[in-house]
Structure 1
Amino acid sequence: MAVDHKDVAQVAEELGQRFDEFKKSNDKRLEAIDAEKTALSEKTEQLNGKLTELDNLKADLEAALKEANRPGKPGASKEVSEHKAAFGSFIRKGREEGLRELEQKALNITTDSDGGFAVPEELDRNILDLLRDESPMRQVCNQITVSTSDYKKLVNLGGAGSGWVGETAARPETGTPTLAQVAAYMGEIYANPQASQTSLDDLFFDAEAWLNAEVAREFAEQEGAAFLSGDGVNKPKGILDYAFATTGDAARAFGTLQEIHSGVSGDFVADDLVKLVYTLKKGYRGNAGWMLPMLTLFKVRTMKDAQGNYIWRPGIEAGQPSSLLGYAVNENEDMPAVAADAHAVMFGDFRRGYTIVDRIGTRVLRDPFTNKPNVGFYTTKRVGGMLTDSQAVKALTLSV
């Protein structure tokens, strides 16, 4: 689909118009007598849904326009090109001749004892790109690629002492900074998409694109939940699985996140969100954003501040995302719904707070025997996650 700036501008203009209609409808709903509330509530909910559609459409058009304007990729090396061609033959026909040698030349890695073949560099990067597009956590969190099965990181907890002294007074020894080591919780994720041999024999069937899309979708669903709430057993430890406390940053142990209680079990108001923003240190707020599910965003769109202004604003200009209290909103359907004791909303600098660790290389084992006449592609990769800065993200907990 061809996209230009005019398309984005038209959608942005309609988004602004719909938001004006939504505000008028919601204001009337709040002021209406009981007999009128039902009809106005229905209209408001319809407009709320339309805002979501337009907001998502604007983001998709901007992404498509960015992709269309991206410069061409530099040419691949001869080794990578040969490896890619041989891997394509392996997918379609199961031919393995010379693939192992080409794999080692292209990727400069040793053979894997578990069998299967490494996905070519370009295809592997495309899979990660698709995962980034599909996964809300990958869109906002830090991501690194490592060559080993485990990853550890040193974190400076501070603690260097200091003091005031006279010009000629002695300088006693002060404390030294404290370093802590954090490790990623790693796990192996797999997918086993199936294709018929007939489709693989079809020259017009893009086998690589199909495998890319199938694997990316499966991995994104599994990863997304794990990065948020995984328990760390054979999978990443999700950010919501770490300990929470109400104590502030100065008194809270490293590795424990701060939760702000709404004061009402299973509900919250606009002031709770404002408090969440200003509980985060100023240094983190520059790159901060929100994370919440769609239905919670619906609720937030109807809220106003103490001056009667709506706290959610549509991005009515190209390149400007919709915002909540001036900060970008990241929708994540794996976030808990509004309920008693739920961590219903998170706010913070997720790139600083959580790191996703990908082990380099995705591997594919071709299986034409188990599910005849289909061919299975048992695809695996190691991935992990870890909390790297427990001061960078805060959660709103719906409890007294």
Structure 2
Amino acid sequence: MPVDIQDVKQVAEELGGKFNEFKEKNDKRIDALEAEKGKLSGQVDTLNEKLGELDELKTSLEQELAALKRPDGSGTKAASEHKTAFMQFVRKGIDTGLGDLQAKALQIGSDADGGYAVPEELDRSIIELLKDTSPMRQVCNQITVGTPDYKRLVSLGGAGSGWVGETAARPATGTPTLGQIAAFMGEIYANPQATQTSLDDIFFNAEVWLNGEVAREFSEKEGAAFTSGDGVNKPKGFLAYDLVLDDDKTRAFGKLQKLISGTAGGFNGDKIIDLIHSLKAGYRANARFMMTNLTVAYVRKLKDSQGNYLWRPGLEADKPSTLLGYGIVENEDVPDVAADANAISFGDFQRGYTIVDRIGTRVLRDPYTNKPYVGFYTTKRVGGMLVDSQAIKVLTLSAA
């Protein structure tokens, strides 16, 4: 049954009600006698888990509603013919004329290593599905390039300036410094399998199946790489860059500032406030937190000095739950709460990290290796890089 705005409102109301119940039980747990704490603690944990489920359900309904409103692009005639021929290749392995149609649609030929380029409409649909399922793609800058690698220039400042009298000589200032940064690129692959019988079935939607399988496989690998990948044949994740204690005035470009929680495997509300204000005001307008689901459960219990909860549920459509007024991105590739873990990140990820997609996902059809299954060896080139090391801050759960 199609999702409508009333479904979102209903879940939001239930979320608000459960949050009130959670606050009541948690407050009683804090104030209770030792004998009662065990029972109340279990009730708080159950309500905390229910809050997480409702929050996730609300977000998922909002995404589904947005998907229903998304227009379908029909593309050009050449692109349409290419897509039809490509799906014939997927179902039957017939590639007659596919290379010519591909060249007309994409202005490129088939690679020397074999396989065919996925039609652009289908390719962009895969990227859109990746955005829907990957937390990093939801918040980071994304660009599409037609070359195997990507580089860009960044200004490191250093021009210099000074005060002079009206008639005094004007000394030369320093030369502004430009630096070049390059994306860490790698080729990601998936090899979904389907029987020829299912491909012959006219009711089997091969396009949706291939899109979904590839997007799921790519999303799992990409998410880990964009977060903590080492940059060797894969993107370099933002947490893999050097983390240092130096602030923005003294820190070298390309290194992220980390704050220490003061407690091994723990933190309090004051440290969250410190993390927020370690970020320059210009970055805070579009900033959000990034942490795992278990860490979100941890912060739901935190209060300020007046006894107010720092976490607030999103009680309206398109209004996410917040921590001290900032949205939360749940990323299970970020470390959980543990001693010395880089458990919470905060910043403007749109400005801080860029994901680079090379247009042209490719598919090699293999009906021989794993009979009776037909394999679709699918590859795409993707990269990532930190572009603004002042835009993201990290809280490390260490005693010192």
Q: Distance in 1 between matches of 2:200 and 2:74?
A: 28
Matching residue of 2:278:
279
Is the counterpart of residue 21 in structure 1 residue 13 in structure 2? no
What residue number does 1:256 align with?
A: 255
Q: Offset at 1:283?
A: 0.6
Tell me the residue number matched to 1:47.
47
- 2:30 maps to 30
Q: Which residue of 2 aligns with 1:318?
A: 317
Q: Which amino acid letter does the alignment assign opposite residue 133 of structure 1?
A: D
Name 2:119's counterpart in structure 1. Answer: 120
Could you give the per-residue CA deviations for residues 84-135 of structure 1, whole angstroms, max 9, x where no partner exists?
A: 0000100000001000110111111233111100001111011001100110
Q: How many residues align?
A: 399
Asked if 1:237 corresponds to 2:272, the answer is: no
Structure 2 counterpart of 1:332? 331
DSSP-derived class of the 1:157 partner? strand
* Partners of 1:66 and 1:386 in 2: CA distance: 29
| Residues 195-254 of structure 1: per-residue CA shift (max 9 Å, x gap) | 000000000000111000000000000000000111111111111110010010110000
Moved more, 159-168 or 231-240: 159-168
Aligned equivalents of 1:75, 1:221: Cα separation in 2? 29
> Structure 1, residues 117-167: CA drift from partner, whole Å, max 9, x if none?
000111101100110011000000110011111110101111121111111
Superposed displacement of residue 65, structure 1: 2.1
Query: 1:6 aligns to what?
Result: 6
**1:1-400 matches, cutoff 5 A:** 1-70=1-70, 72-399=71-398, 400=400
Larger mean CA deviation between 58-67 and 345-354 belongs to 58-67
* C-alpha separation in 1, matches of 2:61 and 2:336: 29
Sort the Cα spacing of 1:74 and 1:197 in 2 relative to 1 into closer, same or farther, 3 A.
Answer: closer
Cα distance between partner residues in 1 of 2:206 and 2:66 = 26
Residue identity matched to 1:68: L
Amino acid at match of 2:375: G
Structure 1 CA distance for aligned equivalents of residues 318 and 92 of structure 2 = 45
Query: How far did residue 2 of structure 1 move?
Result: 1.7
The amino acid across from 1:185 in the alignment is: F
Task: Supply the AA of the counterpart residue of 1:151.
Answer: Y
**What amino acid sits opposite 1:147 in the alignment?**
G
Structure 1 gaps of 5+ residues are none
Q: What is the CA-CA distance between 1:66 and the residue it aligns to?
A: 2.2
Q: Secondary structure at the match of 1:20?
A: helix
Question: Distance between the aligned counterparts of 1:351 and 1:74, measured in 2?
Answer: 26
Counterpart residue identity of residue 265, structure 2:
G
Shift of 1:68: 2.5
Instruction: Tell me how far apart the structure 1 counterparts of residues 3 and 217 of structure 2 sit (CA, whole Å).
Output: 29
User: Aligned partners of 2:66 and 2:81: how far apart in 1?
Assistant: 30
Other structure's SS at 2:157 match: coil
- Structure 1 runs (4+) greater than 6 angstroms displaced: none
Residues 99 and 109, structure 2, Cα contact 8 Å, conserved in 1: no
**Aligned equivalents of 2:60 and 2:367: distance in 1?**
38
The CA deviation at 1:74 is 4.0
Tell me the SS of whatever aligns to 1:182.
strand
Give the conservation status (yes or no) of the 8 Å contact 2:187–2:381.
Answer: yes
Q: Which runs of 5+ in 2 are unaligned?
A: none
TM-score normalized with structure 1 length: 0.98
How far does residue 270 in structure 1 lie from its aligned partner after superposition?
A: 1.1
Q: Distance between the aligned counterparts of 1:266 and 1:7, measured in 2?
A: 38
Inter-partner Cα distance in structure 2 for 1:287 and 1:65: 23
Scaled by the length of structure 2, the TM-score of the pair is 0.98
Matched to 1:28, the amino acid is: K
- Mapped partners of 2:206, 2:367: distance in 1: 15
In structure 2, what residue type is equivalent to 1:16?
Answer: G
Q: 1:3 deviation in Å?
A: 2.1
Instruction: Report the alpha carbon displacement of residue 8 of structure 1 after superposing the two structures with TM.
Output: 1.4
Partner secondary structure for residue 232 of structure 2: coil
Q: Offset at 1:29?
A: 0.6
Deviation at 1:56, TM superposition (A): 1.3
Could you tell me which amino acid in structure 1 is paired with residue 267 of structure 2?
F
* Structure 2 CA distance for partners of 1:74 and 1:230, relative to 1, 3 Å: closer
